[in-house]
Amino acid sequence: MSDSDLERVAAAMVAKGKGILAADESNSTAGKRFDKFGIAKTEENRRAYRELLFTTPDAPQWISGVILYDETIRQKTAAGVPFPDYLTKLGIIPGIKVDLGAKPLALHANETITEGLDGLRERLEEYYRLGARFAKWRAVIDIGTDIPSRGAIEANAHALARYAALCQEQNIVPIVEPEVLMDGAHTIERCEQVTDATLNEVFIQLHRARLHLEGMILKPNMVISGKKCPTQATPEQVAAATVRCLKRHVPGAVPGIAFLSGGQSPAEAALHLSLMNRGTTLPWQLSFSYGRALQDAALSAWAGKSANVAAGQKEFRKWARLNALARNGSFQAGMEQQAA
Nearer to ligand 13P, 50 or 138 (CB): 138
Instruction: Give the binding-site size for ligand 13P (rule: CB under 6 A).
Output: 10
Among 260, 267, 273, 298, binds ligand 13P (CB under 6 A): 260
- Nearer to ligand 13P by C-beta: 30 or 260? 260
For residues 44 and 289, the answer to whether their CB atoms sit within 8 Å is: no
Smallest distance, Å, CB 259 to ligand 13P? 8
Integer Cα distance of 116 and 112 in angstroms: 13
64: CB partners within 8 A, 6+ apart:
12, 13, 14, 15, 18, 19, 20, 92, 93
**Region from 5-13, 48-56, 158-166, 257-265 binding ligand 13P, contact rule CB under 6 A:** 257-265
Helices (H) and strands (E) in the chain, counts: 14, 10
DSSP-assigned states of every residue in 125-187: HHHHHHT--EEEEEEEE--BTTBS-HHHHHHHHHHHHHHHHHHHHTT-EEEEEEEE---SS--
- Report in angstroms how near the CB of residue 22 gets to ligand 13P at its nearest: 3
Identify which of residues 78 and 100 has a Cβ nearer to ligand 13P in the complex: 100
Residue of 177, 192, 201, 315 marked catalytic: 177
- Phi-psi category of residue 75: left, alpha or beta, with phi > 0 → left and psi -120 to 50 → alpha: beta
Angle at 154 between CA 143 and CA 5, to 5 degrees: 110
From 18, 97, 219, 318, active-site residue? 219
Angle at 283 (CA atoms; ends 279, 286), nearest 5 degrees: 60
In angstroms, give the least distance from the CB of 323 to ligand 13P.
11
Give the residue, chosen from 112, 170, 261, 277, that forms a contact with ligand 13P under the rule CB under 6 A: 261
DSSP H or E stretch at residue 191? helix 188-208
Active site residue 177: yes
- Using CB under 6 A as the criterion, what x/- string covers residues 182-221 for binding ligand 13P? ----------------------------------------
Does residue 95 belong to the site contacting ligand 13P (CB under 6 A)?
A: no
Work out how close the CB of 337 gets to ligand 13P at its nearest, in angstroms, rounded to a whole number: 22
Give the shortest CB-146-to-ligand 13P separation in angstroms. Answer: 25
Whose Cβ is closer to ligand 13P: residue 83's or residue 137's?
Answer: 137
**What is the SS3 assignment for 262?**
coil
Compute the distance between CA of residue 114 and CA of residue 105 in angstroms, rounded to an integer. Answer: 9
Task: Establish if 22 lies at the interface with ligand 13P (CB under 6 A).
Answer: yes
Distance (Å, rounded) from C-alpha 66 to C-alpha 12? Answer: 12
Q: What are the beta bridge partners of residue 97?
A: 136
Please say which residue, 53 or 122, places its beta carbon nearer to ligand 13P: 53
Phi, psi angles (nearest 5°) of residue 194: -75, -40
Question: Least separation, in Å, of the C-beta of 239 and ligand 13P?
Answer: 17
Nearest residue (beta carbon) to ligand 13P: 291
Q: Is 178 in the site for ligand 13P (CB under 6 A)?
A: no
Strand 112-114 relative to strand 102-104: parallel, antiparallel, unpaired?
antiparallel
Indicate the pairing of strand 112-114 with strand 256-259.
Answer: unpaired
Q: Which is nearer to ligand 13P, 29 or 328 (CB)?
A: 29
Residue 103 CB, nearest approach to ligand 13P (Å): 16
Is 138 a binder of ligand 13P (CB under 6 A)? yes
Closest listed residue to residue 156, CA positions, set 198, 193, 189, 100 = 198
Restricted to residues 262-301, the positions that interact with ligand 13P (CB under 6 A) are 262, 290-293
Which is closer to ligand 13P, CB of 81 or CB of 101?
101
Instruction: Give the footprint of ligand 13P on this chain (CB under 6 A).
Output: 22, 138, 177, 260-262, 290-293
- The set of catalytic residues is 177, 219
